[in-house]
Amino acid sequence: MDKKYCSVPVQPQEVTPKHVYQSRRKFLKQMGVLGMGALLASCAPKLPSPGSSPDPNLMGDQSSNFTDELGDALTAYEAIIGYTNFYEFTTSKEGVAELAENFVTDPWSIEVGGLVKNPRTYSMDDILGHFTQQERIYRMRCVEGWSMVIPWLGFPLHALLDEVVPTEDARYVAFETALVPDQMNAAESGMFPFPYLEGLRLDEAMHDLTLLATGLYGEPMPAQNGAPIRLVVPWKYGFKSIKSIVRINLVADQPPTLWNTVAPHEYGFYANVNPDVSHPRWSQATERRIGESGRRATLFMNGYAEEVMPLYEDMDLDVLF
Ligand SMILES: Nc1nc2c(c(=O)[nH]1)N[C@H]1C(S)=C(S)[C@@H](COP(=O)(O)O)O[C@H]1N2
Ligand SMILES: [Mo]
């Protein structure tokens, strides 16, 4: 196997995501590294260097940390950071790190407002000091038909929404990526109407699986993966997981999103992973797991159906996309 994409062995086992994250949390707590500042200070030298597989000593003796709850191996760190979609820099998936070298992500702040009782602008220090960072191992399924298993660091979006307190009228959450043309060389190419916009229904945003991620593999978020903070919605196609967020707005009506605006017949607002609903130009039945050869079956709701189906009880499955 290509060493670059070599993954740790699959260890099938029955572990719920909650167990995974709690065991990991316990580990981080034992290490005294809950909270990003401490994590970086005390843990950085021991973290897996780019090019290595997860270090069993670092990851603790819970073998679940090498796989997701389905027993699928974590994707190698260098694949996760070396194969990315960040169209403000380039439509190529490789070389994004180099193009994003001058992207300034510190200092950073996120403005949270709209239909909320306590509008607030958070600095990244506020965010990291305030919300306990957890590890969450999630599958990521891009609408293009490739996938990864990524150990994110972050916290559930509902923790932040609970603080700002949505009003009764708030029904959707709108997200916006930074737009800094002098640091993002494709921002003004005219190919896309940036800033990148995304949105969720409020109940989707409040779901415990919905994460604001600030790092991966125990390291701060690389620029190309959406530093310093990005959304991760694991049961939806990857494009919903908007990067480098500067604004979160609670709104009454379904907000415009970039992909739905440029190609509404190809990219729906919901964009739930569904192997039975083809993209107009290709099937969504299978996917290429980065690091594996061949293709594997795509799972309904990307394997999170049990957790998220209650959100869609009243909806026609055909319109889920
Ligand atoms: N701002 C912004 N967010 C974005 C994108 C983008 O081009 N710009 N690409 C999306 C797509 S298509 C995918 S598949 C995921 C990829 O996340 P990753 O590169 O960290 O794997 O980010 C999503 N978030
Ligand atoms: Mo994607």
pLDDT, mean of residues 12-19: 33
For residue 45, how far is its CA from the centre of ligand 2 (angstroms)? 32
pLDDT, mean of residues 166-189: 98
For residue 315, what pLDDT is reported? 87
At the fourth CATH level, the homologous superfamily of domain 3-312 is Oxidoreductase, molybdopterin-binding domain (3.90.420.10)
Rounded CA-CA distance 86/7 in Å is 24
Residues near 237 by beta carbon (within 8 Å), at least 6 away in sequence: 141, 142, 143, 267, 271, 272, 273
177 lines ligand 1 (CB under 6 A): yes
For residue 319, what pLDDT is reported? 64
Residue 203 φ then ψ, to 5°: -70, -30
pTM (predicted TM-score):
0.84
Would you say how long the chain is, in residues?
A: 321
Residue nearest to atom 14 of ligand 1 (CA): 238
Rounded CA-CA distance 212/224 in Å is 16
| 52 confidence band (pLDDT: 50, 70, 90) | very low
- Higher per-residue pLDDT: 122 or 51: 122
82 lines ligand 1 (CB under 6 A): no
| 307 burial via Cβ count (<10 Å: 0-12, 13-18, 19+) | middle
Return mean pLDDT, the chain.
84
For residue 62, what pLDDT is reported? 35
For residue 92, how far is its CA from the centre of ligand 1 (angstroms)? 12
Residues near 93 by beta carbon (within 8 Å), at least 6 away in sequence: 83, 84, 85
For residue 143, how far is its CA from the centre of ligand 2 (angstroms)? 5
| 317 confidence band (pLDDT: 50, 70, 90) | confident
Residues near 55 by beta carbon (within 8 Å), at least 6 away in sequence: 46, 48
257 lines ligand 1 (CB under 6 A): no
Rounded percentage of the chain residues whose pLDDT exceeds 70: 79
142 lines ligand 1 (CB under 6 A): yes
Give me the residue label for tokens 């991760």. Answer: 232
Ligand at shortest distance from the CA of 242: 1
Residue 185 pLDDT > 70 = yes
| 284 confidence band (pLDDT: 50, 70, 90) | very high
Which among 78, 83, 86, 288 is the best mutation to test ligand 1's pocket, defined by most ligand atoms within 8 Å of the CB?
86
Where are the chain's structural domains? 3-312
